[in-house]
C-alpha cells in the first residue's frame, strides 16, 4: 500500500474515532432518568377554613336562603333529619332563638352536614344580618343553641370635599358612602346648617370610621369622629364626645364645647308634611262646624314610617285609647313632656329610657283619625302648648367638670382635622391661594 492509501486510511480511522468518542460523550452527558419520587406530583393538604367558630373542612357545607313560607322543619327534613328530632331541636333552642317566629324569608343560612353518603345536617346557622348569627348545634345528643357575632374590624379614614351641587352628589363623585351625608346633615349639623341651602364652594373635612365584617365585607360607616364644615365662609367644627357613660349618651360639640343640637327635634318623623297645626279655635265640618280645639301638630306620613323621640327622656305611657289609638308619652324633665298618637305599632315600654332620635313606634291610623299620620303633642309645665311657638332650650351643655376633659380630648383631633389637605382639583381657583397659605402656616407651626 502506498503512502496515499495509508494516509487516507489514517484519516478515516481518525474520523471514526471522533464519531465514536462523540457518541459516548453524548451518552455520558444524557440526563439520567428521573427518580420516581421526582415525577409524582406533590398533593398539598387543603388549608383549614374556619367560620362561625367551626372548622368547615370537617363538614359538607351547604349555603342557602330561607324561602317564602319555608319552615325550619322543612329545611332539616330535606337534609335527612327526622321530624321527632326536629321537634326536639326546636324545643331545646326556643329559649335562645324561637325558630318558628323569627326565621325570615330571604335571610341566609348555612348547614354543616356529615361527610357520609346521606350528608345528614348536624348544625344550622342562621344570619338575621351581616354581623349577627345564631348557631343551633345538634351534631351530638346534647343540643346547644347560642347567638354570636362575626369578627368586626374598624378602620379610621378621612375625607374632604367641596360642594358644587349638593353634599350627596359630592360624596357620590368621590365614591364615599351616602351615610356620611346623612350623619352630617341629620346627626351633627341639623340645627346649625341647612343642608338644603348649601352654597357652591362650601367645603368639609371629616374623620370617620368604616366597619368591616370578617375583614372583607363592608358594613358601612360606623361613626363620625370629627368634622369641619365651612358654610358661607363660616367654620363649624364638630367633635363626638360621650357625656354620660352610664346611659351611653353621645353628642357633638363645637371646638368651644357648645352643643350643636337643640333639646328637641323639629319633628318626630322625617320627610313628612304638617297636615294640621295646633289650633285652639279649629272648626270641623264633620261636627257641624263647631269649634273643636286641636292641641297637637299632625305630621302626615305613610303607614309604617318610623316615629322618633324628639328628645331624651323616660317613657311614662305606652298604651291605647279609643281616641288616641296606640300612643306613647315621654317625660323629658320636670318641665317638658311629649306624646305621639295614632301609631300602628308601639316599640317601647313604660320605664324605658330613650334618646333623641330613637324609634319609638310607627305611623298608623289607630284611634280617631281620618288618615295615616302622627299627632305630636307637647306639654310645658303640665299644659299642652304649640311647640313651634316655644323658645325651646338648647341641648344640655357640657358640665364644667367635663369641659376641661373635653378640650384636652379634642386637641389632637382638631390638629389632625386641620392638617388634612383638600385635593387641588376640588378647590376652586379663587380659594387655592388661601388654601396654600393655610397649608404653609400649618407646616410652620409643625416645624416650630
Do the Cβ atoms of 230 and 203 come closer than 8 Å? Answer: yes
Asked whether residue 444 carries a pLDDT value surpassing 60, the answer given is no
Asked whether residue 446 carries a pLDDT value surpassing 50, the answer given is no
Asked whether residue 212 carries a pLDDT value surpassing 70, the answer given is yes
Q: In Å, what is the CA distance from 113 to each residue of 49, 63, 69, 403?
A: 15, 11, 23, 58
The pLDDT-based confidence of 57 (bands split at 50, 70, 90) is very high
Average pLDDT over residues 278-301: 70
Asked whether residue 359 carries a pLDDT value surpassing 70, the answer given is yes
What is the rounded CA–CA span in Å between residue 196 and residue 337? Answer: 30
**Predicted local confidence at residue 32, as pLDDT:** 57
CA terminus-to-terminus distance, the chain: 108
pLDDT tens digits, 166-188: 888 888 888 888 889 888 887 88
Q: What is the mean pLDDT of the chain?
A: 83
Average pLDDT over residues 202-222: 92
Do the Cβ atoms of 311 and 266 come closer than 8 Å? Answer: no
What is the rounded CA–CA span in Å between residue 45 and residue 43? Answer: 6
Q: Does the CA dihedral 169-171-176-181 come out positive or negative?
A: negative
The pLDDT-based confidence of 302 (bands split at 50, 70, 90) is very high
Q: What percent of the chain stands above pLDDT 90?
A: 47
Of 254, 237, 171, 164, nearest to 202 by C-alpha is 164
What is the rounded CA–CA span in Å between residue 338 and residue 377? Answer: 6
Average pLDDT over residues 388-400: 77
**Predicted local confidence at residue 399, as pLDDT:** 82
What is the rounded CA–CA span in Å between residue 155 and residue 208? Answer: 8
Average pLDDT over residues 416-426: 84
**Predicted local confidence at residue 370, as pLDDT:** 80
**Predicted local confidence at residue 189, as pLDDT:** 86
**Predicted local confidence at residue 436, as pLDDT:** 42
Asked whether residue 255 carries a pLDDT value surpassing 90, the answer given is yes
Average pLDDT over residues 151-158: 94
Q: In sequence order, what are the beta bridge partners of 201?
A: none
The 3-state secondary structure of the chain, one letter per residue: CCHHHHHHHHHHHHHHHHHHHHHHHHHHHCCCCCCHHHHCCCCCCCCCCEECCEEHHHCEEEEEECCCCCCHHHHHHCCCCCHHHHHHHHHHHCCCCCHHHHCCCCCEEEEEECCCCCCCEEEEEECCCCCEEEEEECCCCCCEEEEEECCEEEEEEEEEEECCCCHHHHHHHCCCCCHHHHHHHHHHCCCCCCHHHCCCCCEEEEEEEEEEECCCEEEEEEEEEEEEEEECCEEEEEEEEEEECCCCEEEEECCCCCECCECCCCCCCCCCEEEECCECCCEEHHHCCEECCECCEEEECCCCCEEECCCCEEEEEEEEECCCEEEEEEECCCCEEEEEEEEEEECCCCCCEECCCCEEEEEECCCCCCCCEEEEEEEECCEEECHHHCCCCECCCCCHHHHHHHHHHHHHHHHHHHHCCCCHHHCCHHHHHHHHHHHHHHHHHHHC
Average pLDDT over residues 125-131: 93
**Predicted local confidence at residue 435, as pLDDT:** 44
281: its cell numbers = 279655635
Asked whether residue 135 carries a pLDDT value surpassing 70, the answer given is yes
Average pLDDT over residues 431-446: 40
Average pLDDT over residues 146-170: 90
pLDDT tens digits, 305-354: 999 999 888 999 999 999 899 999 999 888 899 999 999 999 999 999 99
CB within 8 Å of 199: residues ≥ 6 apart: 163, 231, 232
Q: Name the pTM for this structure.
A: 0.59
The pLDDT-based confidence of 47 (bands split at 50, 70, 90) is confident
**Predicted local confidence at residue 294, as pLDDT:** 77
**Predicted local confidence at residue 149, as pLDDT:** 93
**Predicted local confidence at residue 33, as pLDDT:** 58
Q: Does the CA dihedral 120-125-127-130 come out positive or negative?
A: negative
For the chain, domains (ranges, CATH) are 50-149 (3.10.450.350), 152-253 (3.10.450.350), 273-389 (2.70.70.10)
pLDDT tens digits, 85-124: 999 999 988 888 888 788 899 999 999 999 999 999 999 9
Asked whether residue 363 carries a pLDDT value surpassing 70, the answer given is yes
**Predicted local confidence at residue 85, as pLDDT:** 92
Do the Cβ atoms of 328 and 318 come closer than 8 Å? Answer: yes
**Predicted local confidence at residue 241, as pLDDT:** 93
Asked whether residue 12 carries a pLDDT value surpassing 70, the answer given is no
What is the rounded CA–CA span in Å between residue 221 and residue 239? Answer: 16
Amino acid at each position: 500500500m502506498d503512502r496515499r492509501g495509508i494516509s487516507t486510511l489514517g484519516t478515516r480511522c481518525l474520523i471514526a474515532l471522533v464519531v465514536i468518542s462523540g457518541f459516548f460523550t453524548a451518552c455520558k452527558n444524557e440526563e439520567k432518568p428521573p427518580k420516581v419520587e421526582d415525577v409524582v406530583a406533590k398533593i398539598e393538604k387543603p388549608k383549614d377554613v374556619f367560620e362561625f367558630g367551626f372548622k368547615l373542612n370537617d363538614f359538607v357545607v351547604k349555603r342557602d336562603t330561607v324561602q317564602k313560607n319555608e319552615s325550619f322543619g322543612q329545611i332539616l327534613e330535606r337534609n335527612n333529619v327526622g321530624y321527632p328530632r326536629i321537634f326536639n331541636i326546636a324545643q331545646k333552642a326556643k329559649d335562645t332563638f324561637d325558630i318558628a317566629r323569627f326565621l325570615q324569608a330571604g335571610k341566609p343560612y348555612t348547614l354543616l352536614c356529615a361527610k357520609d353518603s346521606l350528608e345528614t345536617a348536624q348544625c344550622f346557622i342562621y344570619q338575621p344580618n351581616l354581623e349577627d348569627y345564631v348557631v343551633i348545634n345538634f351534631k351530638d345528643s346534647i343540643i346547644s343553641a347560642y347567638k354570636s357575632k362575626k369578627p368586626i374590624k374598624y378602620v379610621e379614614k378621612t375625607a374632604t370635599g367641596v360642594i358644587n351641587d349638593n353634599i350627596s352628589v359630592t360624596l357620590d363623585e368621590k365614591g364615599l358612602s351616602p351615610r356620611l351625608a346623612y350623619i352630617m346633615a341629620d346627626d351633627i349639623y341639623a340645627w346649625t346648617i341647612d343642608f338644603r341651602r348649601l352654597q357652591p364652594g362650601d367645603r368639609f373635612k371629616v374623620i370617620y370610621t368604616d366597619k368591616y365584617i370578617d375583614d372583607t365585607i363592608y358594613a358601612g360607616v360606623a361613626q363620625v369622629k370629627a368634622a369641619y364644615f365651612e358654610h358661607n365662609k363660616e367654620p363649624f367644627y364638630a367633635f363626638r364626645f360621650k357625656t354620660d357613660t352610664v346611659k351611653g349618651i353621645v353628642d357633638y360639640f363645637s371646638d368651644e364645647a357648645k352643643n350643636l343640637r337643640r333639646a328637641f327635634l323639629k319633628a318626630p318623623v322625617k320627610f313628612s308634611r304638617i297636615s294640621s297645626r295646633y289650633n285652639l279655635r279649629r272648626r270641623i265640618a264633620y261636627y257641624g262646624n263647631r269649634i273643636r280645639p286641636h292641641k297637637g301638630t299632625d305630621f302626615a306620613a305613610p303607614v309604617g314610617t318610623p316615629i322618633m323621640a324628639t328628645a331624651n327622656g323616660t317613657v311614662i305611657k305606652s298604651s291605647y285609647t279609643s281616641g288616641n289609638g296606640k300612643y306613647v308619652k315621654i317625660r323629658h324633665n320636670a318641665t317638658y313632656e311629649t306624646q305621639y298618637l295614632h301609631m300602628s305599632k308601639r316599640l317601647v315600654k313604660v320605664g324605658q329610657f330613650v334618646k333623641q332620635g330613637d324609634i319609638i313606634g310607627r305611623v298608623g291610623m289607630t284611634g280617631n283619625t281620618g288618615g295615616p299620620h302622627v299627632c305630636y303633642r307637647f306639654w310645658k309645665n303640665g299644659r299642652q302648648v304649640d311647640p313651634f311657638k316655644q323658645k325651646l332650650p338648647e341641648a344640655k351643655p357640657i358640665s364644667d367638670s367635663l369641659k376641661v376633659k373635653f378640650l384636652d380630648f379634642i386637641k389632637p383631633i382638631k390638629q389632625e382635622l386641620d392638617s388634612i389637605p383638600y385635593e387641588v382639583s376640588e378647590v376652586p381657583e379663587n380659594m387655592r391661594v388661601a388654601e396654600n397659605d393655610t397649608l404653609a402656616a400649618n407646616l410652620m407651626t409643625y416645624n416650630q
